[in-house]
Structure 1
Amino acid sequence: MTPTPEAIKAWKAEEARQAQILADAIDAAIQETAKQFDAPMINAVCGALVTVQAAVLSSVADTHHRKELRKAMERALPRALAEQIARGNGHCQTVVIGAPRQ
């Protein structure tokens, strides 16, 4: 049975709602945890996110489903990045070891 356009729209809306709730919770946890460090490292944040992403992907037992989920995540990244840039969400400093702050 093929889902109706209304069912697909409802599913996508629920996915977006849950994704925003989870994104807000993850961001709040990162912001709160970052207070423990003198200078939180964005590389450490990214490393942690990749580790969690890998844990989520590895929890999908079926290799075909896991591959499709990974592809969906890769397709979603450029749009999510563009949305965050458009919101003016860039406020991290880049520090290069042995060089002045940029």
Structure 2
Amino acid sequence: MIGSKDGNAQHIILLPGDNGEAPWAGQMAWAKSIGGDLPTRVEQAMLWANHRDQFERDWYWSSEEREGYSGWAWYQGFDYGYQDRDLQITRLRARAVRRLFLR
């Protein structure tokens, strides 16, 4: 469960399936096509901390673009747990999530 500054909370549901390497826009479209979204950076950090066994030891795109840098987006390394950014044309893996908002 993830809380927000406004007091709302949500559960993150990791959808089955791992999409092979593709550019960021392609991975965003893939996630939407299966009824999900790419996880945020915070969600990816929680997934790495609690469910890294569900991922290949590889890099996975997040849903977040790099602010102030056109054409860049953030990714999570599921090998050593770090986050970094890369050009959106780079081919990285993806997992999709759904969010269940709690009131």
- TM, length-normalised to structure 2: 0.24
Higher strand share: 2
Higher RCO (C-alpha 8 Å, min separation 6): 2
Flag the structure with higher helix content: 1
TM-score (norm 1): 0.24
